[in-house]
Amino acid sequence: MSKLIDLGEREILKQIIPRFAEGAGDDCAILQTSGGHLVVTTDPVPPPAAAAIGGDNDPFWMGWLLVTINVSDLAAAGAVPLGFLAAIECESERTTESFERLLEGIRASCAAAQIPYVGGNLREASRLSAVGTAFGICDSYSPLTRVGAKEGDSIISIGQGGVFWRDALRLLDGKDFGPKDSSPVFKPISQIGFVHCLAREHLVRAAMDNSDGLLPSLNELASKNSLGIVLNLEALTVPGLTAEESSNAARYWLGWGDWNVILAVSPAHEDRLFELANASKASAHRIGRFTAEHPGLVTLQRGGNTALAPRLESERFAKDSWMLKGVGEYVRMLKEVPLP
């Protein structure tokens, strides 16, 4: 009898789930209604980096992250947010003050994402955990999915990369990283405010959020679209780096934590996309392109040097998952993966 760990999360989602659920396999479920497409997603919150890396156990950060994780999937679908629900399990001995900090985090993150916090569930348990559900709508246009990229399309990140690991590594080294309120280590922000503007104008061929990290997301896009991807490491710049840090800029982009949406965009639509991004003060970066060569694979390029992208997975139910060993193992991998 085989076990889930023999398959790993990706194979479970590929081989088992589709036999039971319709339409699984994208960032959101999509339901057609008379008023457009309803877009729905649900995800639990892991131990927030605020605690795991920042050593700050205020439940506010967990509430904040719960919303960002879910809303980021809505952003990837190009949806406009409609409502958020939180199913919370909590110890009966927890103070009301601590419980309210969790709710304050949810409320503040919902306000930042402009999504109303409209309900959820509450029951007692031996430890605090929460699962979010977010609803959105694409009224007069189709939701974005991971499939649809064409050879020659540009890969554009909506959202700045690398800031999470710039700050996280400073924190782990005991250095100053600025105010908690403006760092994605504590207050990660999704791209929900902007991606729908692009979807509405049909400027995007495929999209996915980078919640598992940039490299796994690019691998998934390459695989789902049967195309190769070339990631241009020189395009992966990070603001505010010291001279010492600047040689690691590309590396900082590769891990999870920045909550960006990665797009496939026809070169014909790029000018309009950057025009809209400027007008909305959204951050957009052309970081690579889709190719017909090496379908399913991601190649890293720096000048004339190229190399196959290393494995930097956050796969659940996997024997080699860093999640079994803790975030320190991920930090080690991120610092050590060989790059051209």
Q: Which residues bind ligand TPP (CB under 6 A)?
A: 43, 46, 48-49, 65, 69, 185, 188, 211-212, 256-257, 314
Q: For residue 228, which of 339, 337, 308, 310 has the smallest C-alpha distance?
A: 308
The item of Mg ion, ligand TPP, ligand ADP, none sharing an interface with residue 245, based on CB under 5 to 8 Å by kind, is none
Q: Is 94 annotated as a binding residue?
A: no
Q: Which residues touch 109 (CB under 8 Å, ≥6 apart)? A: 63, 64, 65, 66, 67, 68, 71, 187
Which helix H or strand E contains 103, and what residues bound it?
A: helix 96-113
Closer CB to ligand TPP, residue 147 or residue 276? 147
Vertex 235 angle, CA 230 and 236, to 5°:
100
Closer CB to ligand ADP, residue 9 or residue 270? 9
The item of ligand ADP, Mg ion, ligand TPP, none sharing an interface with residue 65, based on CB under 5 to 8 Å by kind, is ligand TPP
3-state secondary structure of 214: helix
| Binding residues for ligand ADP (CB under 6 A) | 13, 17, 21, 24-27, 29, 43, 73, 211
Q: Is 43 annotated as a binding residue?
A: yes
Minimum CB separation of residue 43 from Mg ion in Å reads 4
Q: Is 182 annotated as a binding residue?
A: no
Closer CB to ligand ADP, residue 135 or residue 177? 135
The CA distance from 313 to 167, in Å, is 21
The item of ligand TPP, Mg ion, ligand ADP, none sharing an interface with residue 13, based on CB under 5 to 8 Å by kind, is ligand ADP
Sites for Mg ion among residues 16-75 (CB under 5 A): 43
Closer CB to ligand ADP, residue 22 or residue 93? 22
Which amino acid is present at 328? G
Helices (H) and strands (E) in the chain, counts: 11, 12
In Å, how far from its chain's centre is CA 334?
Answer: 17
Q: Is 181 annotated as a binding residue?
A: no
Minimum CB separation of residue 136 from ligand TPP in Å reads 15
Q: Is 173 annotated as a binding residue?
A: no
Closer CB to ligand TPP, residue 69 or residue 249? 69
Minimum CB separation of residue 107 from ligand TPP in Å reads 17
Q: For residue 143, which of 194, 193, 199 has the smallest C-alpha distance?
A: 199
Vertex 213 angle, CA 208 and 215, to 5°:
85
The item of ligand TPP, Mg ion, ligand ADP, none sharing an interface with residue 46, based on CB under 5 to 8 Å by kind, is ligand TPP
Closer CB to ligand TPP, residue 81 or residue 188? 188
Vertex 117 angle, CA 116 and 123, to 5°:
165
Q: For residue 339, which of 260, 231, 238, 263 has the smallest C-alpha distance?
A: 231
Binding-site residues from annotation for ATP? 120-121, 146, 211
What are the residues binding Mg ion (CB under 5 A)? Answer: 43
